[in-house]
Amino acid sequence: MALAEAGACGRLLVWPRVVLFGDSITEFSFQENGWGAALAERLVRKCDVVNRGLSGYNTRWAKLILPRLITKSTGAESTVAITIFFGANDSALKDLNPKQHVPLEEYAANLKSMIQYLKSVDITEDRIILITPPPLQESAWEKECLAKADKLNRRNATTGEYAQACVQVARECGTDVLDLWTLMQKNQDFSSYLSDGLHLSTKGNSFLAAQLWSRLEKKLSALPSLFPYWRDVDHTNPEASLL
């Protein structure tokens, strides 16, 4: 049977997907031992995990491009979960990093705008998870800044204000939230969760993956495996099993 004829015998299988939308901490999540890669491994044969991380981006830019990533006709129906993970750049100090900085009130408004947009394309609140920025280890990040002849351009206390705003938006909008800033600091020495004071280390990636899965497991564990296990395929009549 020709492939074209075989394809005509079965309907197109739309693979469910989890979309990871965020900044560099999301973009890097498919690197070795990354939290996105860990999630994809858990969900293999059940759904795709799609990385839409954009290094350096803030919510001001993110809300503009979200409608170019997800529309009713391109992926909204198949999106079973989406993470929105911004704040590490928004919370940069205005006087030292004006390009990435977004005022706190605007940050909250931008998150709400993205949630409202997703709802408008029929992605309901129960499929949306906000993630706060992680805590900032200032001494390590200052070394990174000094290496580029810059001053320390972020503060952990300021990042915490953005994290609190993110939690409040989730509460007001009825979405789930992963308060990474607070959870990581339950261990007083949180530096081991970070590779450079800002981005996640292997331990930090593992921590985030575990915390995120605890929120996704109920939503996604019931998803069926796509296509039967190979031993269950009728080898004498594979069409009966696969089409």
Whether residue 2 has pLDDT greater than 60: no
Average pLDDT over residues 165-189: 95
Whether residue 104 has pLDDT greater than 90: yes
Whether residue 7 has pLDDT greater than 60: no
Least confident of 15-29, 57-71, 73-87, 101-115: 73-87
CATH topology of domain 17-220: Rossmann fold (3.40.50)
For a pLDDT cut of 70, what percent of the chain falls above it? Answer: 96
pLDDT of residue 137: 94
Q: Edge-to-edge strand order for the sheet containing 48-53?
A: 48-53, 17-22, 79-85, 128-131, 176-178
What is the residue-averaged pLDDT of the chain?
Answer: 92
The whole-model pTM stands at 0.92
Instruction: Determine which one of 122, 150, 196, 234 is catalytic.
Output: 196
Catalytic site residue 196? yes
HEC states along the chain?
Answer: CCHHHHHHHCCCCCCCEEEEEECHHHHHHHCCCCHHHHHHHHHCCCCEEEEEECCCCCHHHHHHHHHHHCECCCECCCEEEEEEECCCCCCCCCCCCCCCCCCHHHHHHHHHHHHHHHHHCCCCHHHEEEECCCCCCHHHHHHHHHHCCCCCCCCHHHHHHHHHHHHHHHHHHCCEEECHHHHHCCCCCHHHHECCCCCECHHHHHHHHHHHHHHHHHHHCCCCCCCCCHHHCCCCCHHHHHC
Structure confidence at residue 201 as a pLDDT band (50, 70, 90)? very high
**Alpha-carbon gap, residue 113 to 108, rounded angstroms:** 9
For a pLDDT cut of 90, what percent of the chain falls above it? Answer: 75
Q: End-to-end CA distance of the chain: give it in Å, rounded.
A: 13
pLDDT of residue 9: 53
Structure confidence at residue 10 as a pLDDT band (50, 70, 90)? low
Whether residue 6 has pLDDT greater than 50: no
Catalytic site residue 24? yes
Q: What is the pLDDT of residues 29-80, one digit of tens each?
A: 999 999 999 999 999 999 999 999 999 999 999 999 999 999 988 777 899 9
From residue 122, give the alpha-carbon distance in Å to each of 45, 73, 79, 128. Answer: 25, 11, 10, 11
Instruction: Determine which one of 24, 192, 201, 206 is catalytic.
Output: 24
**Alpha-carbon gap, residue 124 to 121, rounded angstroms:** 9
Least confident of 11-15, 69-73, 172-176: 11-15
